[in-house]
Chains A and B, each alone.
Chain A
Amino acid sequence: MAADDREILREVWQGRLPICFSLAEDEEDSLDKQEPCFLLVSRLTYITLVTEKLQKHFMKTQELKEEEEVWHYPVGVLFDLLAHGKPLPWNIKVHFKNFPEDELLHCLKKEVIEAHFMSSIKEADVLKHRGQVINNMQKRDHKQLWSGLQNGNLSQCNYEELLPQQFTQLVVTSQLNILRQAINALTTITVDCGRHYVESRRPLVVRTLTDCAEKLVTTEEDKRQELNHGKSALRANGYTPWIMKAPKPKKKPSKEQPGEKGPNISVPLPYVKGVSEKLANTFGDHGVNKFDQFWTINRRLMERTNEEPFRSVPLRIYQPDTMYIQRLCKAVADTGEPLNLGHVLGNILPKKFDNSESSSHQALIHGVEVPMETPVQWLSEHLSHPDNFLHIVVLKKKSEET
């Protein structure tokens, strides 16, 4: 895989949304108004995985049930579907009581999401490789896929809790700007993170650096040096002084699990010029990157068998106020011509995508409007969610709305 392409996998993995969780009015104790809870949440995770955090937050006055929102759609898909283009942070009302069981999937435990997640991966592999890859995997590989997603994205949420006042100072947008390059229109897409994207990561950078100093370096002298190095690197990259005073992460006593080699640290690796390279080396040496843990296994699911394109591309198309659409979708036409996103959408939603320049609708993947000329095989390999499905959100174009 080309280096640029691999970078896209990483960008997708690190996509985050700022969410403000507050308790629904009817569940709020009027005498003791609850502060909302601000979190940066991975686009790829499921909202239920954040519940524990929320429960702790709202626990003081409420007796809570472990029930959740539409937990079985990835967070990013929900956001694109419900709140695309609206100001951030995304406000979510939390209902812990009166769960509408006949309308929403009931989610009691992490196992429910795990089962849902694994069953999606299985189905996707049936579509791509007739199920041969997943069936040849060991149970522990399956577990690794799940724990990669879970640890990689859940514990990062813990690191990324922000104080509300800091939050308002950040101009946050977690959308990638994918720009199509003119050179090779069919296969080359570059990712431009943009200034805001980096800005949204700033607290993480600080955390990452302090963590790096505190957990990976052993002697006191080295620790101080490492921290000073981090600070100067941050200043050199234009960080404001106040962010340097971000609260240090709480010590997590049981970070190390028995049986696992090395410290079990989950920190995202945002790109900061000059610093990222150093960090990547350090973390690489310690094997602590969940992205790599997940992709070591997932790579096999995303590979082509004998250079053949996928038998079908696992995808779901979501539209507001209706059931998602899942159809068999080939990667290559019978004529041998690679099919692109325009072909697929034109086929499934002919009224909305007539392949003309003035289509009334747009298709979002990970919050980004993807060029219609992009081959679906490429999309499947690079922009699929961890459950191995491409989740495409179709919305009416803004300019069309009156």
Chain B
Amino acid sequence: MNSQAAMGNGTLNADEFNKLAESIAVFSGEHRLGWQIQKSSHFETPWLVFKQVVNVQPKSQKEAHGAEESELELKEEASDCDENEQVTLGVGGHDDTIAMEYHVVYSESYQVPVLYFNAFHSNGKLLSLEEIWNSVPGPFQERVRLDGWSTITQQEHPILGRPFFQLHPCHTADLMKQTQAMNTHSKSNYIITWLSSVGPVVGLNLPLVFATLSDKG
């Protein structure tokens, strides 16, 4: 198996990505975590999708809270994996509810997974890039403020063709190389390791139970 060699430089090949994504979907199904695999007729590699509804503090409160002002707070997860439909907004009726949709798509160019996401206000309107930057939690704010345009940008979803926000993949291989070098003994799932380190930037916090998922599924 050449997976170790390929993973040594922090990248994945498409087959490895498929297997890891598949095992996440299966694991998620068993534990009702809401991650699903999707396929398209015109794109060979499947991708992972996760949806959740998050709560944002109302504006008036935000101003008083300084740095943490508009941090996305995890309200509830779309925890039922049988629930295949879009998170419908407006059901809750709150203006401060935001539906998040995360897609993990394999990039052939970078040979790493890429996180795409969209965020909708309860009236169905997309959040603007500015709002997304402002919603980045405190610890990561500085980075985004410094270099927002190369961290989170709006791009065309490579499969759906609709606009999505993208966490730029150019540092993923480096990050994973370092992470893997530190954890030579662990057999953690590449995608989970990566998501748990970059996800929090955009309000995606993986439940701890994922840590029990090894690279063998």
Residues of A within 8 A of B (CB): 72, 101-106, 108, 111-112, 114-116, 118-119, 122-123, 126-127, 131, 312, 314, 322-328
CB pair B109–A123 under 8 Å, yes or no, is yes
Contacts of A111 in B (CB 8 A): 149
CB pair A119–B161 under 8 Å, yes or no, is no
Given contacts A118-B150, A323-B42, 18 further A-B contacts (CB under 8 A): A101-B126, A105-B154, A106-B128, A108-B128, A108-B129, A112-B129, A112-B153, A115-B153, A116-B153, A116-B154, A119-B150, A119-B155, A122-B170, A123-B110, A126-B110, A127-B109, A312-B109, A323-B159
Contacts of B128 in A (CB 8 A): 106, 108
Measured between alpha carbons, how far is A119 from B148 in the docked complex, in Å? 13
CB pair B156–A105 under 8 Å, yes or no, is yes
CB pair A104–B163 under 8 Å, yes or no, is yes
Contacts of B42 in A (CB 8 A): 322-323, 325
Distance between B214 CB and nearest chain A CB, rounded to angstroms: 29
Contacts A112-B129, A126-B110, A323-B42 known; A106 to B155 CB distance under 8 Å? no
Chain B residue at minimum C-beta to C-beta distance from A323 = B161
Identify the 4 closest CB pairs spanning chains A and B, nearest first.
A115-B149, A323-B161, A105-B163, A115-B153
- For residue B125, CB closer than 8 A to chain A, the reply is yes
Write the B145-179 contact mask toward A (1 if CB under 8 angstroms, else 0).
00001100111101111110000101000000000
* Residue among B159, B162, B170 making CB contact with A102, cutoff 8 Å: B162
Chain B residue at minimum C-beta to C-beta distance from A131 = B170
Contacts of A101 in B (CB 8 A): 125-126, 163
Contacts A102-B162, A106-B126, A323-B42 known; A328 to B108 CB distance under 8 Å? yes
Measured between alpha carbons, how far is A119 from B154 in the docked complex, in Å? 11
* Residue among A104, A106, A312, A326 making CB contact with B158, cutoff 8 Å: A326
Distance between B18 CB and nearest chain A CB, rounded to angstroms: 16
Main secondary structure of the interface of A (DSSP, over half): loop
Distance between A121 CB and nearest chain B CB, rounded to angstroms: 11
Measured between alpha carbons, how far is A192 from B120 in the docked complex, in Å? 51
Measured between alpha carbons, how far is A345 from B109 in the docked complex, in Å? 19
Chain A residue at minimum C-beta to C-beta distance from B161 = A323
What are 7 contact pairs spanning A and B, CB under 8 A?
Answer: A106-B128, A106-B129, A106-B163, A115-B150, A118-B149, A322-B42, A323-B159
Chain A residue at minimum C-beta to C-beta distance from B158 = A326
CB pair A106–B154 under 8 Å, yes or no, is yes
Q: Could you tell me which residues of chain B, from 167 to 198, have a CB within 8 Å of some CB in chain A?
A: 168, 170
Measured between alpha carbons, how far is A312 from B108 in the docked complex, in Å? 11
Measured between alpha carbons, how far is A127 from B168 in the docked complex, in Å? 16
Contacts of A115 in B (CB 8 A): 149-150, 153
Distance between A3 CB and nearest chain B CB, rounded to angstroms: 33
Contacts of B109 in A (CB 8 A): 123, 126-127, 312, 314, 326, 328
Distance between B87 CB and nearest chain A CB, rounded to angstroms: 15
Contacts of A327 in B (CB 8 A): 108
Measured between alpha carbons, how far is A131 from B171 in the docked complex, in Å? 11
Distance between B41 CB and nearest chain A CB, rounded to angstroms: 11
Contacts of A105 in B (CB 8 A): 154-156, 163
Measured between alpha carbons, how far is A242 from B212 in the docked complex, in Å? 79
Q: Could you tell me which residues of chain B, from 116 to 157, have a CB within 8 Å of some CB in chain A?
A: 125-126, 128-129, 149-150, 153-156
Distance between B147 CB and nearest chain A CB, rounded to angstroms: 10
Contacts of B125 in A (CB 8 A): 101
CB pair A126–B170 under 8 Å, yes or no, is yes
Distance between B163 CB and nearest chain A CB, rounded to angstroms: 4
Measured between alpha carbons, how far is A123 from B158 in the docked complex, in Å? 13
Measured between alpha carbons, how far is A312 from B153 in the docked complex, in Å? 25
Contacts of A325 in B (CB 8 A): 42
CB pair A112–B154 under 8 Å, yes or no, is yes
Distance between A159 CB and nearest chain B CB, rounded to angstroms: 29
Distance between B175 CB and nearest chain A CB, rounded to angstroms: 14
Contacts of B155 in A (CB 8 A): 105, 116, 119
Distance between B143 CB and nearest chain A CB, rounded to angstroms: 15
Measured between alpha carbons, how far is A115 from B129 in the docked complex, in Å? 12
Distance between A6 CB and nearest chain B CB, rounded to angstroms: 28
Chain A residue at minimum C-beta to C-beta distance from B157 = A323
Measured between alpha carbons, how far is A325 from B110 in the docked complex, in Å? 16
Contacts of A119 in B (CB 8 A): 150, 153, 155, 168
Measured between alpha carbons, how far is A72 from B158 in the docked complex, in Å? 13
Chain B residue at minimum C-beta to C-beta distance from A70 = B156
Measured between alpha carbons, how far is A114 from B129 in the docked complex, in Å? 14
Measured between alpha carbons, how far is A102 from B150 in the docked complex, in Å? 22
Measured between alpha carbons, how far is A104 from B42 in the docked complex, in Å? 20
Contacts of A322 in B (CB 8 A): 42
Measured between alpha carbons, how far is A66 from B159 in the docked complex, in Å? 27
Measured between alpha carbons, how far is A392 from B208 in the docked complex, in Å? 46
